[in-house]
Amino acid sequence: MKRKTERTDQKLAIRINKYLSEAGVCSRREADRMIEQGRITVDGKPAVAGQKVEEGQAIFVDGNPVNPTKERIVLAFNKPLGIVCTTSKKEKDNIIDYLDYPERIYPVGRLDKNSEGLILLTNDGELMDEILRARNYHEKEYEVTVNRPVTNVFLKKMSEGVPILDTVTRPCKVRRTGEKTFRIILTQGLNRQIRRMCEALDYRVRHLKRVRIMNITLGNLPVGKYRILGEKELKQLREGL
């Protein structure tokens, strides 16, 4: 009985990147980058990759103490053109300043400055990591307008995979919605993927809007506005991870 009590009283140590993720500071990958940059300290000493920490230790990020978040927040935001999906204050049009949300939140992934539409923001680093993992094949749907008529040949090539960035894109669903418009559902997130795919086929994107991430849809949410995800949406989102 004594041994059982001693084990129960021991504090549970976890990797610092997981701790920061669960505390709502950032994703694990971002935590690893911040550790490399020397931006994180534990009990006054620079943190190291793979380090384990316990509750009660003094953990600081950029000189600010880390206080584990109790309430998990997930927002759906209709990003306007010109807003950059970064937390860096060096970018004057960064998404965090634009939203001016009262709690610390982070964008889940990116949406090009010249694109608009749905992006999720959260203080839940674990959720962020799960959504961003490429191996999970999470669907993202876009409305696209291009500079010339959409042909059957174009649709076929887009759906089968296009060589860009030293790889071939995953097969995807594409359907024509108008003379120069189409909808596309991707399960990967290469840098400027849709624009690069179109350019490889001698098309140019004139307008691009993301309308869905997994089960979360943009709906009639006005440009520049956000909404807090409901319990049903969050449950479905987590079940899909």
Residue 31 has pLDDT above 50, yes or no: yes
Distance CA 161, CA 157 (A): 6
DSSP character string of 2-58: HHHHHHHHSPPPEEHHHHHHHTTS--HHHHHHHHHTT-EEETTEE--TT-EE-TTS-
pLDDT value of residue 133: 74
What class does CATH assign to 2-65?
alpha beta
Are 2-65 and 74-134+216-239 in the same CATH fold?
A: no
pLDDT band at 8 (very low <50, low <70, confident <90, very high): very low
Residue 6 has pLDDT above 50, yes or no: no
Say whether 202 is catalytic: no
pLDDT band at 69 (very low <50, low <70, confident <90, very high): low
Given the residues 43, 62, 97, 112, the one annotated as active site: 112
What class does CATH assign to 74-134+216-239?
alpha beta
Mean pLDDT computed over 221-227: 97
Q: How many residues does the chain have?
A: 241
139-213 has which fold?
A: Alpha-Beta Plaits (3.30.70)
Backbone phi, psi, residue 59, to 5°? -110, 125
Q: What are the structural domain ranges in the chain? A: 2-65, 74-134+216-239, 139-213
Please state, for a pLDDT cut of 70, what percent of the chain lies above it.
Answer: 93
Residue 172 has pLDDT above 90, yes or no: yes
